[in-house]
């Protein structure tokens, strides 16, 4: 067996690597940003980059300035290597424009609302402890999320802890705190107190209980609706009107009228105190119809318009006064400013191209409505505008467009398709809208079954399976035909 050779050796090897320019990542981020985020980003760039300035002149002045700049001798900015110089008073002007991200004011939620009501009650420290434990286990919809036994165990574990804050009150001569274990009855009693809080129905353990609490609050204990919810909740949920009518010796119509009263109650009472801060949408694009033609415009009037700062460029051209770190800083900032201006313009043009193709493809939607949406995919748009599919995805994500038919997210116009007898595909979103319209116009005493909807759509040339109709109906929140039937 030959001895193993040891030592160092050199050699050449070729391999391919894909390295992404950091500016490419920044460009993708700019594409992804909605209008408000981009506005904040550009304001921050104005603060940090002295070579960027705002365009504030009239259009004519802008054009004149651009023409003057074209007539000037071109400067090879790549050779001007500068870095971090004192800009004098000009820098202070940018600092005055410093942008601060607005933050929403804090709002009081359901738990704050319940704690406020608990604090107004005259209760003992142990009752307060039980009440706080119960409130802590109420979800945002207003339901208690744990058995009362868990509250009982948690409170007693707290009371037996020698380091709990109530231990100091146990020796109070005037009003000593009771540290003896709580009972299940005490927990149930405190739950009953909280169930009397606003909003009506809060603190229930299930849907049936919250409906009963709301009817008690409305003084409807003797009503037929209350008795049905209390004694025959399963039959009510499953719309078994005949069984309920026989049980109570009344007509099915009376049962259904009682069920209609129950439907007016709030199944999730806590949501009225959930975070309801207003969310505003500013469309990035606008589609307008002018003389029978649709045109796409950018809605960027509030977006800072950027240009290269003339005074800073004049300073940067004096190469002799900058050396070392100054050169590096100015070169970096100047290149960044030029790239930012180009990237913003590229973003604008890309968005206009994408929306222009959408308008051409979905013209029937703009003319006739949602039922006439055509199927459209990101790949189709990408191939048409000669860009990558991921770029189109970023352009359309979280972007909105204002149209004669309302404000829509750009993703609204993308949908899969179903085949038709006349050779053209129809959008799945349009089919859902047709199903919604058919159900809205049906005879409530003889509602359309899924198969009946299939037959009606096939009569219009749409090829669709019954299970697909059922899926779309569920997505629309439409009950089955049996559940929709009125007697």
Q: What is the pLDDT of residue 39?
A: 78
User: What is the mean predicted confidence (pLDDT) over 6-13?
Assistant: 65
Specify whether 296 is located in the same domain as 355.
yes
Return d(Cα 258, Cα 55) in angstroms, integer.
66
Predicted pLDDT at 6: 65
Higher-pLDDT residue of 349 and 101 is 349
Structure token digits, residue 418: 């179903």
Do 434 and 337 share a structural domain? no
Q: Are residues 461 and 477 in the same domain?
A: yes
Nearest to 185 by CA among 261, 125, 127: 127
Domain presence at residue 162 = no
- Evaluate whether residue 53 is within a structural domain: yes
Could you tell me if residue 477 is inside a domain?
yes
* Cα–Cα nearest to 159, from 150, 170, 148: 170
Write out 335-404 in H/E/C secondary structure: HHHHHHHHHHHHHHHHHHHHHHHHHHHCHHHHHHCHHHCCCECHHHHHHHHCCCHHHHHHHHCCCEEEEC
Which tokens sit at 288? 């307008």
Residue 314 and residue 295 in one domain: no
Question: Confidence band (pLDDT; 50, 70, 90) for 309?
Answer: confident
25 found inside a domain = no
CATH number where 454 lies: 1.10.10.60
Range 38-45 contact pairs with CB under 8 angstroms and sequence separation of 24 or more: 38/303, 38/347, 39/302, 39/303, 39/304, 40/99, 40/101, 42/303, 42/304, 42/306, 42/340, 42/344, 43/97, 43/99, 43/304, 44/99, 45/306, 45/340
Q: Is residue 71 part of a domain?
A: yes
What is the per-residue pLDDT across 437-457, written as a single tens digit (0 to 9) for each? 999 998 888 899 999 999 998
Q: Report if residue 212 sits inside a domain.
A: no
Average pLDDT over every residue of 342-360? 88
pTM beyond 0.85? no
pLDDT of residue 22: 57
Q: Are residues 353 and 407 in the same domain?
A: yes
Could you report the per-residue pLDDT of 385-417, keeping only the tens digit for each?
888 888 888 888 888 999 999 999 998 898 877
Same domain, 295 and 391: yes
Domain that holds residue 475: 418-484
């Amino acid at each position: 067996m030959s001895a193993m050779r040891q030592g160092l050796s050199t050699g050449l090897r070729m391999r391919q690597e894909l390295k992404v320019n950091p500016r490419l990542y920044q460009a993708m981020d700019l594409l992804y940003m909605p209008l408000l985020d981009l506005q904040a980003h550009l304001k921050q760039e104005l603060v940090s980059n002295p070579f960027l300035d705002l365009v504030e002149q009239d259009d004519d002045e802008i054009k004149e300035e651009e023409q003057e700049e074209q007539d000037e001798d071109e400067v090879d900015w790549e050779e001007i290597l500068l870095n971090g110089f004192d800009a004098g008073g000009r820098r202070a002007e940018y600092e005055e424009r410093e942008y601060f991200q607005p933050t929403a004011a804090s709002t009081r939620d359901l738990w704050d609302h319940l704690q406020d009501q608990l604090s107004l009650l005259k209760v003992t420290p142990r009752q307060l402890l039980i009440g706080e434990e119960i409130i802590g286990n109420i979800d945002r919809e207003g339901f208690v999320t744990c058995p009362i036994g868990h509250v009982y165990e948690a409170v007693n574990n707290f009371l037996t802890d020698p380091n709990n804050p109530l231990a100091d009150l146990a020796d109070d001569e005037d009003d000593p705190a009771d540290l003896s274990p709580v009972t299940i009855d005490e927990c149930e009693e405190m739950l009953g107190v909280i169930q009397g809080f606003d909003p009506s129905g809060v603190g229930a353990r299930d849907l049936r209980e919250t409906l009963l609490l709301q009817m008690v609050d409305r003084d409807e204990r003797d009503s037929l609706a209350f008795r049905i919810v209390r004694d025959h909740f399963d039959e009510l949920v499953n719309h078994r009107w005949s069984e309920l009518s026989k049980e109570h010796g009344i007509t099915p119509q009376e049962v259904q009228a009682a069920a209609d009263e129950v439907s007016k109650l709030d199944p999730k009472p806590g949501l009225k105190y959930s975070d309801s801060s207003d969310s505003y949408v500013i469309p990035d694009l606008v589609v307008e119809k002018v003389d029978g033609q649709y045109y796409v415009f950018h809605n960027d009037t509030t977006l800072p318009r950027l240009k290269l700062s003339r005074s800073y460029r004049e300073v940067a051209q004096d190469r002799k006064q900058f050396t070392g770190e100054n050169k590096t800083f100015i070169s970096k900032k100047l290149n960044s400013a030029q790239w930012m201006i180009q990237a913003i313009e590229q973003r604008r043009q890309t968005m206009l191209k994408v929306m222009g193709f959408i308008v051409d493809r979905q013209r029937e939607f703009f003319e006739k409505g949602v039922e006439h949406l055509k199927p459209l995919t990101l790949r189709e748009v990408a191939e048409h505008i000669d860009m990558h599919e991921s770029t189109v995805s970023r352009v359309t994500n979280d972007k909105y467009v204002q149209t004669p038919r309302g404000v829509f997210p750009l993703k609204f116009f993308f949908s899969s398709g179903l085949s038709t007898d006349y050779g053209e595909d129809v959008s799945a979103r349009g089919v859902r809208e047709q199903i919604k319209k058919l159900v809205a116009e049906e005879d409530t005493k003889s509602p359309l079954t899924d198969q009946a909807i299939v037959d009606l759509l096939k009569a219009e040339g749409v090829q669709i399976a019954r299970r697909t109709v059922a899926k779309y109906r569920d997505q629309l929140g439409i009950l089955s035909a049996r559940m929709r039937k009125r007697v």
